[in-house]
Amino acid sequence: MKFASLRSSAQILILLLCAFPLAASSLSARPADAEKHHVDLDALATTLDAGLRTAGVKSVAVADFVDANGSGNGFTWYLSGKVSDALRKRISESNGPRFVSRGMLTDSKLTTEEVSSPAALARIGAIWGVAAIVTGTIDVYPDRYVVKAIVKRVSDGSSIVAADQNVPRRHFLDLLLPEGTDPESAHLKTIGADGVTAPVCVYCPVPGYSDDARAAKIQTAKVTLTITVSTKGEPIKVVLDKNPGFGLGEKAIEDVSEWKFRPAMQNGKPVTVAVPVEVNFNLA
């Protein structure tokens, strides 16, 4: 099967206590719209690349960023991936240092203690096979996110270059925040308990394959998420539970953020529930 038909080969399974079928129309693929979810970090990547080349760094990888409290979550993980994508693209265009993609790393997480410890950075750099590591923080403001990056040399923990860039707030990114986009996410009912029915998906386009998955010719893959569906039938929080890599987790997040449901019901009234979702990609 050609990769052009990969999108239509994806299947979505809503895992519930009592499973319900999705209408065939809800599984229809829609035209690609990469720009809708594009996160512009080109200026940040350009500054980091220039600093790497000036310092003569031979290889680099991007670790997971953390929030203002020093914690990682789905939101910081997603934007860390976008920093990685932007830097990889910039380096390839400028013939910069060897770039080790996040998909090649066994674990891209670093603790704040590891970031500040030259010995820990040296150990992790040896495992990752890189001379420098990009890490940083992401702050959230009412109208924007601020991505702050710093590149550290693994041999001695010294800073090579630092940069930051503002990113306008986006609804699909806010869904990844620990609190989601609505206080309703803290008041969940359980599907199947006390007469709570499951939400029904009425607009659920199949997530498309990522460029990395196409390039790697991935035959099968599975992404699992948990979507909190509001009383209005809209996603108000998304948690990535299992990610096969190659950008497929990111693609699933971007597309499910626009799904529409008939809300879960209890005694004739809409209620908020969390719904496990499995997106299977199969080339066969």
Q: Please give the pLDDT value at position 208.
A: 80
What string of pLDDT tens digits covers the 284 residues of the chain? 232 333 334 455 544 323 333 333 334 344 455 677 889 999 999 999 999 999 999 999 999 999 999 999 999 999 999 999 999 999 999 888 999 988 788 789 998 899 999 999 999 999 999 999 999 999 999 999 999 999 999 999 999 999 999 999 999 999 999 999 999 888 899 999 999 999 998 998 888 888 888 888 888 889 999 999 999 999 999 999 999 888 899 999 999 999 999 999 999 999 999 999 998 877 55
Sign of CA dihedral 58, 63, 65, 71: negative
Q: What are the boundaries of each domain within the chain?
A: 3-36+172-282, 40-169
Q: Please give the pLDDT value at position 205.
A: 84
Q: Please give the pLDDT value at position 13.
A: 53
Question: What is the secondary structure of 80-113 as a DSSP string?
Answer: HHHHHHHHHHHHHHHT-SEEE-GGG-S-----HH
| Location of structure tokens 């990685």 | 84
CATH of region 40-169: 3.40.50
Question: What is the secondary structure of 216-270 as a DSSP string?
Answer: HT--EEEEEEEEEE-TTS-EEEEEEEE--STTHHHHHHHHHTT-EEEPEEETTEE
Class of domain 3-36+172-282: alpha beta
CA distance 138 to 110: 15
Q: Hey, which residues does 44 pair with through a beta bridge?
A: none
CA distance 198 to 277: 12
Q: How many angstroms separate the Cα of 248 from the Cα of each of 85, 168, 252? A: 14, 23, 6
Residue count of the chain, please give it: 284
The gap from C-alpha 27 to its chain's centroid, in whole angstroms, comes to: 22
Sign of CA dihedral 8, 13, 19, 20: negative
Q: Please give the pLDDT value at position 4.
A: 30
pTM beyond 0.75, yes or no: yes
